[in-house]
Amino acid sequence: MTIRNEPRPTHRTAVIAIDLQSEFIGADALFPVPDGERLVAEAVPFLSRMRELGIPVIFTAFAVPDARPLGRSTARFGNPRAHRYPDAALLPGLDIDERDIVIEKSRQSAFVGTGLDLLLRRLGADHLVILGVTTHSCCLATAIDAAALDFDVTVLSDLTACPPVPAKDGLPPMTADEAHTAALQLVAYSSAQVATSADVLDALRPELAR
């Protein structure tokens, strides 16, 4: 898997870490992602490397305060705990830095109702690197919206993951791997390039990634 050949200027790149939360990752997760613990273990050093390169790191949390109604997509899960605290809390082992930005979102896309677009433009970013969960929902929705807003988008195949998809509305179920692969295929077709974290490091100032 390759990323575009030209070196990336680090000052035009931002990383968005999507929904690394207790409700998706861990023994008590509401919607457990099978590969979640491995993903976090590998994402933490990658994010540390991004900070060393001066690249902004933005965490999102799918969190709907109790006083606000759930969105239609969340209501389809039929679980009143979905996206509510304490399940919506970001994982404690993420090593969030004081330079990082944390955004709460109440919809699948990190761009809906958050001001993320304006923030990224204030940062001067035009290339977004997306990692996190879930590949087939929030990562996919964020990547599609980012492309629609004319950002250059890279989705990390090794640092995204999702749970299995149950049968619904007459459609067959999908395993976690099937859903993950299908989401990457869709985003690669329409909205972003798909690459590994190693590919991104090689493309971002290769002399610094050694």
Per-residue pLDDT, 141: 97
CATH of the domain at 166: 3.40.50.850
Report pLDDT digits (tens) over 155-165.
Answer: 999 999 999 99
Would the pLDDT of 198 be above 70? Answer: yes
Report pLDDT digits (tens) over 89-127.
Answer: 999 999 999 999 999 998 999 999 999 999 999 999 999
CA-to-CA dists, residue 122 to 103, 135, 141, angstroms: 15, 27, 22
CA within 13 Å, CB half, 43: 31
Determine, yes or no, domain membership for 114: yes
Determine, yes or no, domain membership for 4: no
CA-to-CA dists, residue 99 to 19, 54, 164, 194, 205, angstroms: 18, 10, 34, 27, 21
Max CA distance (Å), the chain = 52
- Residue keyed to tokens 């979905």: 82
Determine, yes or no, domain membership for 32: yes
- Output the pTM of the full model: 0.90
Determine, yes or no, domain membership for 2: no
Determine, yes or no, domain membership for 118: yes
Determine, yes or no, domain membership for 5: no
Determine, yes or no, domain membership for 1: no
Per-residue pLDDT, 166: 92
In sign, the C-alpha dihedral spanning 162, 163, 166, 169 is negative
Determine, yes or no, domain membership for 3: no
Per-residue pLDDT, 9: 61
- The domain containing residue 205 runs over which residues? 10-209
> How many structural domains does the chain have?
1
Report pLDDT digits (tens) over 13-47.
Answer: 999 999 999 999 998 898 999 999 999 999 999 99
